[in-house]
Chains A and B, each alone.
Chain A
Amino acid sequence: MIEVEGLTKTFSSSTKVVAGVSFSVNEGDIFSLLGPNGAGKTTTIRMLTTLVSITAGRALVGSYDVSKDPGSVRNLIGVVPQEVTLDNELKGMENLQLAAKLHHVPKAVADERARELLRLVDLSESMNNRASTYSGGMKRRLQLVTALIHEPRILFLDEPTVGLDIQTRTRIWDYIRQLNRERGLTIFMTTHYLEEADQLSDVVAIMDHGAIKVSGPPRELKDSLQGDVLTISVEDGGEDLAGFLRSIPNVSEVTRADHSYRLKLPRVESALPEIITEVALKGFRIAETSFSKPSLDQVFLEVTGRSMRDAEEGGGAHDGYASVHARETR
Chain B
Amino acid sequence: MIAESLALGGRALTKWVRNPFAVVVTSIQALFWLALFGNSFNPANALASPSGSLGPLQQAFGGAPNYITFLTPGVIGLVALTGMSFMGVDLVFDRINGYLDILRAFPIPRTSIYFGGVIQNIAKGMVAAPITFALALVIPNGLRLGSGFGVLNLLGVFGIVALLTAVFATFFTGIAISVKSTDSFFAAINFLTFPFMFTSSAFFPLSFFPAWLKPVAQANPITLASDAMRLLILNSSLNASQVQALAGDVAGLAVIGAVFAALGITMAGNALKAR
Chain A interface residues toward B at CB < 8 A: 49-53, 70-71, 74-75, 77, 79, 81, 83, 85, 87, 89-90, 94, 98-99, 101-104
- The distance in angstroms between the C-alpha atoms of A101 and B107, with both chains bound, is 11
Known A51-B104, A102-B106; further 16 A-B contacts with Cβ < 8 A = A51-B101, A51-B102, A51-B105, A52-B275, A71-B107, A77-B105, A85-B99, A85-B101, A85-B102, A87-B15, A94-B14, A98-B11, A101-B7, A102-B4, A102-B7, A103-B107
- Flag whether B210 is at the interface (Cβ < 8 A): no
- Flag whether B152 is at the interface (Cβ < 8 A): no
A75: B residues at CB distance < 8 A? 107
A113 to nearest B CB, angstroms?
A: 16
- The distance in angstroms between the C-alpha atoms of A52 and B273, with both chains bound, is 8
Partner of A89, one of B8, B19, B273: B19
**B274 with A89: CB separation less than 8 A:** no
**A102 with B108: CB separation less than 8 A:** yes
- Number of B residues near A (Cβ < 8 Å) is 23
- The distance in angstroms between the C-alpha atoms of A104 and B6, with both chains bound, is 12
- The distance in angstroms between the C-alpha atoms of A90 and B94, with both chains bound, is 14
Most buried by A among B3, B104, B107: B107
Q: Can you pick out 20 interface pairs between chain A and chain B where the beta carbons lie within 8 Å of each other?
A: A52-B274, A52-B275, A53-B275, A71-B107, A74-B106, A77-B105, A79-B102, A79-B105, A81-B102, A83-B98, A85-B99, A85-B101, A85-B102, A90-B14, A94-B14, A102-B4, A102-B106, A102-B107, A104-B3, A104-B107
- The distance in angstroms between the C-alpha atoms of A98 and B102, with both chains bound, is 13
**A89 with B105: CB separation less than 8 A:** no
**B104 with A50: CB separation less than 8 A:** yes
**A98 with B7: CB separation less than 8 A:** yes
A87: B residues at CB distance < 8 A? 11, 15, 99
Residue in chain B with minimal CB distance to A53:
B274
B164 to nearest A CB, angstroms?
A: 28
Chain B interface residues toward A at CB < 8 A: 3-4, 7-8, 11, 14-15, 18-19, 97-99, 101-108, 273-275
A104: B residues at CB distance < 8 A? 3, 107
A174 to nearest B CB, angstroms?
A: 24
- The distance in angstroms between the C-alpha atoms of A101 and B273, with both chains bound, is 22
A77: B residues at CB distance < 8 A? 105
B99: A residues at CB distance < 8 A? 85, 87
**A74 with B101: CB separation less than 8 A:** no
- The distance in angstroms between the C-alpha atoms of A81 and B105, with both chains bound, is 10
- The distance in angstroms between the C-alpha atoms of A100 and B107, with both chains bound, is 11
B19: A residues at CB distance < 8 A? 89
- The distance in angstroms between the C-alpha atoms of A53 and B4, with both chains bound, is 24
Residue in chain A with minimal CB distance to B7:
A101
**A51 with B274: CB separation less than 8 A:** yes
B47 to nearest A CB, angstroms?
A: 51
- The distance in angstroms between the C-alpha atoms of A103 and B104, with both chains bound, is 12
B274: A residues at CB distance < 8 A? 50-53, 70
A94: B residues at CB distance < 8 A? 14
A253 to nearest B CB, angstroms?
A: 49
Residue in chain A with minimal CB distance to B15:
A89
Residue in chain B with minimal CB distance to A81:
B102
A83: B residues at CB distance < 8 A? 97-98
Instruction: Rank and list the top 8 A-B pairs by shortest CB-CB distance, nearest first.
Output: A101-B7, A74-B107, A89-B15, A85-B98, A79-B105, A83-B98, A53-B274, A85-B99
A276 to nearest B CB, angstroms?
A: 55
